[in-house]
Structure 1
Amino acid sequence: MLTLPQVSVTLTQSVAFLIFVAPLCLYVAWNDLRAMKIPTWSTDALAIIFVVVGIFVMPFGEYAWRYSHFFVVLVIAMILNAVGAMGAGDSKFLASAAPFVALEDAFLVLMLLGLGMLVGYVMHRVAGRISAVRNLVPTWQSWQEHKRFPLGFPMGAVLILYLALPLLSQL
């Protein structure tokens, strides 16, 4: 039997956040694969979901503290963007997703993100070589890219997985 890692997200938080976050993350992943862009409105929406939903499902002290996660990750992501390690949309997505992650879960999420990026990269490159798959969406910009990778794909998947862990552990 597979034992899932325990996270600081409660079952209530998991359900409340996933209702809004999962569809948005799926859109971000799809749009980044399609156009190699994460629209600003989607990262703004992700931040707004935390602001609006978080106040109802988190203790206020923890909720308020999580805003510091946004600013710390934003500075780090801006530096990564400045040196060309990631795009601006990726940076904004990471910063907007940061408040959803409890500090004590940061190492787990970073490990999931590293693994997700590796698996996502391999999946994308393999799928791009399968003509039946590639022909389903022949106009995706990400098929044409050889140096850049649509990070919205694994980042969205990791946020969904992290928030879903309390639900999955109930199965």
Structure 2
Amino acid sequence: MLGLSPQLAALVFLVLITPICAWVVFTDLKFMKIRNKAVMALLVVFALAGPLLLPLDVYAWRWSHAIVVFLVGFILNQIAHFGAGDAKFAAAAAPYFAHDAFHVELSMLLLCAFLLAAFTAHRIMRAIPAVVNATPDWVSWKRKDFPMGLALVGTLWAYLLIVALS
């Protein structure tokens, strides 16, 4: 199975990461935290499945994405109050993205769209008493900051879905 088509590789990655993504969304909404175990699980899936799904040169180069995104996330955490869990999740998700111009533009477009949509949806949902009463212990309803994991997960998941369907 060395080096499947990009569409099939994306589909397999999508199936493998979906439970992790659901876990990240839940914990970010409930606790405003993205667990290190979830970040490690995302990395482990790429580490184990990547060499079976991608050509080895592509697989190896994609690890550089994680390093670059981690460094950018670390800087944003220090100067712009970007969450540490968000930075780690973004770094762990980075190897799943291709780096050519089309895929970079697609990724940025998706991130912008999911930032706006997730922020708006979160603010609307927390304004609905029935929703808040059904989940009264969710920290994200009470804090000013936003559970960025929603947008990051949405971006990763939608990207892989688009590649799988292309």
Higher helix share: 2
Question: What SS is found at the alignment partner of 1:83?
Answer: helix
Q: 1:108 aligns with which of 106, 109, 118?
A: 106
**Distance in 1 between residues matched to 2:107 and 2:81, nearest whole Å:** 19
**Distance in 1 between residues matched to 2:120 and 2:158, nearest whole Å:** 19
Superposition misfits of 4+ residues, deviation over 3 angstroms: 166-169
What's the counterpart of residue 165 of structure 1? 162
> 1:34-53 residue pairs with structure 2 within 5 A?
34-53=30-49
Deviation at 1:140, TM superposition (A): 0.5
**Distance in 2 between residues matched to 1:51 and 1:162, nearest whole Å:** 19
Q: 1:75 aligns with which of 71, 74, 77?
A: 71
What's the counterpart of residue 12 of structure 1? 8
Query: Could you report, residue by residue, the CA deviation over 1:11-32 in whole angstroms, capped at 9, with x for unpaired residues?
Result: 2112210121111011101110
Q: Which amino acid aligns with 1:61?
A: D
Q: 1:149 aligns with which of 135, 140, 146?
A: 146
Aligned length: 160
**Distance in 1 between residues matched to 2:11 and 2:70, nearest whole Å:** 26
**Distance in 2 between residues matched to 1:103 and 1:82, nearest whole Å:** 26
Q: 5+ residue gaps in structure 1?
A: 1-8
Please tell me whether the aligned partners of residues 28 and 152 of structure 1 are also in contact (alpha carbons under 8 angstroms): yes
Q: 5+ residue gaps in structure 2?
A: none
Query: Could you report, residue by residue, the CA deviation over 1:116-146 in whole angstroms, capped at 9, with x for unpaired residues?
Result: 0111001000111111222221110000111
TM-score, length of structure 2 as denominator length: 0.92
**Distance in 1 between residues matched to 2:136 and 2:151, nearest whole Å:** 21
Q: Which amino acid aligns with 2:36?
A: T
Aligned CA RMSD, in angstroms, stands at: 1.3
> 1:46-61 residue pairs with structure 2 within 5 A?
46-61=42-57
Please tell me whether the aligned partners of residues 32 and 152 of structure 1 are also in contact (alpha carbons under 8 angstroms): yes
* 1:62 maps onto 2:58 in alignment: yes
Please tell me whether the aligned partners of residues 7 and 165 of structure 2 are also in contact (alpha carbons under 8 angstroms): no
Q: Which has the higher contact order (CA 8 A, sep 6+)?
A: 1
Query: Could you report, residue by residue, the CA deviation over 1:25-65 in whole angstroms, capped at 9, with x for unpaired residues?
Result: 11101110100000001101101111111100101111101
* 1:29 maps onto 2:41 in alignment: no
- The percent identity for this pair of structures is 37
Q: 2:89 aligns with which of 86, 89, 93?
A: 93
Deviation at 1:110, TM superposition (A): 1.5
**Distance in 2 between residues matched to 1:139 and 1:84, nearest whole Å:** 27
